[in-house]
Amino acid sequence: MINAINDQRTHDTQYRIIRSAILILCLGSIFLTCLQVLGHGFFPLDDALRHVAKVISGKPWSQILVIRPEMTMDSHPGWHVILSLFQSLSGCDINTLLNFSVIFLFLAFTIPPVFYFQRSEAWVASLALSSIFFFNCIFRLFYGRPYIFSMAMILLFCFTWNKIKEKNKPWLELIALFVVTALATWIHGTWYLFALPLLGLFLARQWRVLLLTSIAMSLGVIFGALLTGSPLTFLYQMVFHALDSFGNHFFTRQLVTEFQPFSGEIPVFLLTGGLLLWRWARGEWDNRNVDNPVFYLAVIGWLMGFVAARFWVDWAWPALAFWCALEIQTVLEYYTEKHSWRRLIFAGMFCLVLLLSVSHDGNSRWSREVSLWPNIEKQDDRPWLPDAGGILYNDSMVLFYNVFFHNPHGPWRYALGFEPIWMTADNLKIYRNIQLTRFKNESYFPWVKIMTRKDRMMLIRQAKPQIEGLEWHEVKPTVWSGRLKQKEQQ
The pLDDT assigned to 250 comes to 56
Side-chain-side CA neighbours of 343 within 13 Å: the count stands at 30
Average pLDDT, integer, range 93-108 = 96
Determine the length of the chain. 490
The pLDDT assigned to 105 comes to 97
pLDDT in tens, 419-430: 888 999 999 999
Q: Say which amino acid occupies 43.
A: F
Q: Say if residue 388's pLDDT is above 60.
A: yes
* Secondary structure string (H, E, C) spanning the chain: CHHHHHHHHHHHHHHHHHHHHHHHHHHHHHHHHHHHHHHCCCCCCCHHHHHHHHHHHCCCHHHCECECCCCCCCCCHHHHHHHHHHHHHHCCCHHHHHHHHHHHHHHHHHCHHHHHCCCHHHHHHHHHHHHHHCHHHHHHCCCCCCHHHHHHHHHHHHHHHHHHHHCCCCHHHHHHHHHHHHHHHHHCCCHHHHHHHHHHHHHCCCHHHHHHHHHHHHHHHHHHHHHCCCHHHHHHHHHHHHHHHHHCCCCHHHCCHHHCCCCCCCHHHHHHHHHHHHHHHCCCCCHHHCCCHHHHHHHHHHHHCCCCHHHHHHHHHHHHHHHHHHHHHHHHHHHCCCCCCHHHHHHHHHHHHHHHHHHCCHHHCCCCCCCCCCCCCCCCCHHHCCCCCCEEEECCHHHHHHHHHHCCCCCCEECCCCCHHHECHHHHHHHHHHHHCCCCHHHHHHHHHHCCCCCEEEEECCCCCCCCCEEEEEEECCEEEEEECHHHHC
How far is the C-alpha of 444 from the C-alpha of 434, rounded, in Å? 7
Q: Say which amino acid occupies 295.
A: F
Q: CB of 105 within 8 A of CB of 115? A: no
Closest CA to 196 of 161, 168, 244: 161
pLDDT in tens, 432-462: 999 989 899 999 999 999 999 999 999 999 9
How far is the C-alpha of 477 from the C-alpha of 133, rounded, in Å? 36
The two beta strands, 470-476 and 456-460, are unpaired
CA 205, chain centre distance (Å): 30
How far is the C-alpha of 290 from the C-alpha of 279, rounded, in Å? 12
Which CA distances in Å does 178 have to 108, 150, 172, 181, 306? 17, 13, 10, 5, 30
Q: Say which amino acid occupies 154.
A: I
The two beta strands, 413-414 and 391-394, are parallel
With cut-offs at 50, 70 and 90, classify the pLDDT of residue 489. Answer: very low
How far is the C-alpha of 121 from the C-alpha of 47, rounded, in Å? 32
Q: CB of 142 within 8 A of CB of 109? A: no
The pLDDT assigned to 256 comes to 64
Average pLDDT, integer, range 127-147 = 95
Rg (Cα) of the chain, in Å, rounded? 25
How far is the C-alpha of 303 from the C-alpha of 293, rounded, in Å? 15
Average pLDDT, integer, range 373-396 = 93
Q: Say if residue 70's pLDDT is above 90.
A: no
The two beta strands, 413-414 and 479-484, are unpaired
Average pLDDT, integer, range 291-296 = 97
Average pLDDT, integer, range 353-378 = 88
The pLDDT assigned to 363 comes to 86
With cut-offs at 50, 70 and 90, classify the pLDDT of residue 7. Answer: low
The pLDDT assigned to 45 comes to 85
Instruction: Mean pLDDT check: name the lowest of 157-166, 241-250, 268-277.
Output: 241-250
Instruction: List Cβ neighbours of 160 (8 Å cut-off, separation of 6 or more).
Output: 170, 173, 174, 176, 177, 213
Mean pLDDT over each residue of the chain, to the nearest integer: 91
State what percent of residues in the chain have pLDDT above 70.
93
The pLDDT assigned to 54 comes to 97
Closest CA to 396 of 350, 347, 342, 458: 458
With cut-offs at 50, 70 and 90, classify the pLDDT of residue 1. Answer: low
Average pLDDT, integer, range 95-100 = 96
With cut-offs at 50, 70 and 90, classify the pLDDT of residue 132. Answer: very high
Q: Say if residue 283's pLDDT is above 70.
A: yes
* Cα distance from N-terminal residue to C-terminal residue, the chain: 102
Biggest CA pair distance of the chain: 102
The pLDDT assigned to 127 comes to 98
pLDDT in tens, 200-244: 999 999 999 999 999 999 999 999 999 999 999 999 988 876 776
Average pLDDT, integer, range 384-411 = 95
With cut-offs at 50, 70 and 90, classify the pLDDT of residue 245. Answer: low
The pLDDT assigned to 490 comes to 44
